[in-house]
Structure 1
Amino acid sequence: MTVNLVTNPRQERVDAARNRAKILAAAAEIVASHGVEGLAMADVAAAAGVGVGTLYRRFGDRSGLAYALIDEREREFQAAFIAGPPPLGPGADAPVRIRAFLNAAVDRTVEQLDLLLMAETAAPLARFGGAYDAYHAHLSMLIAQARPDADAYVLADALLATLAAPLLAHRLRDCGVTADRIKAGLGDLFNLAGQRRVQ
């Protein structure tokens, strides 16, 4: 009797996931050490211990790899503010969650600033849609809970404008503004919006 050996599809998925994790970890380390400019496919493949062909098949090119790095971190961040522990996740009062979200969003942007700078400047409206829409919906919901008389939709845009990667890069790198100062300013901006409107 002849037995045909077939590859276990589940095992292939596990191996693919393991390779993906190794590739993204290697790419993240290279970006952290050398910036986006240092993200060369051959170097990432060597650091991850995979063939360059595997890298191109999975990510297409250098920009596809950069977007995968953003996407991986973005999923973690969204999971944290949607379903993670308080105060970032559910379970704290809306004003506390707003401050936690804004602080975490500053950290998240600073962490991948070069990658987000590349992504947000790829096209005139590249910053909007996707993650921005998720941030905006989340922040609008919390603002409406915290300040029912405020225009939550517009205020969410005003707060998120401060987190644009080009602006953050300019302030942090060219103007010497710290991430902590930006966080404090965002908190002040939200507090100002909560004051009684002048008629």
Structure 2
Amino acid sequence: MAYQDELMEAIARAKRLGLQTPEFQPKEGRLLNQKVHQDIPYIVRDALGDASVEQVASQCLSYHMKLLPILSDYFNEEITYTIGHVFMGDSTLFMQTEEQMIALIKSGINTPKLQIHAWLTLPTCEIMDFTLPTTYAVVNKTKEGLGSVLTGHADHLLNGLRYHPMLLGEDYLRRIGALLEFYAI
């Protein structure tokens, strides 16, 4: 199934689960190019500082949430916060079924470890994942991938890598207690 079709299914899933979801307005063409790849490290550094490996690895939810408005401004496009799992060859990373999501909506999270992954989707169905390569390197005790960013059109990623969106936006995270909101007093 094409990534854009999977995004539409993610929107339908959110509605079935009673979650608010952003609309996804697909566009033709590509936004990722050589200039973007040159600019992104500086944009991220200026916005978040020089992040340590610990601040990136296994921090996909908050890291991508912080980058969303900054990169939306940079591209002057609506970028979509995307939650789902990743197929890497024969392995599935961060798998969470719709049934598991329903259970978490009802009960909330009760463990600090949550099988979930988030990344950013551009309206051109290109993805930007700032945490998976570093998380994978840390878990597998290798230096390969540390500090890397995974980008490309979701339908044309290399080495059997495939992103599967389950939900769009952050309402699910709020509902299960994985995203706290802070209010100024």
Whether these two folds match at TM > 0.5 is: no
TM-score by length of structure 1 reads 0.27
Give the number of the structure whose residues are more often strand, by fraction.
2
Computing the radius of gyration from Cα coordinates, the structure with the larger value is 1
Q: Which has the higher helix share?
A: 1
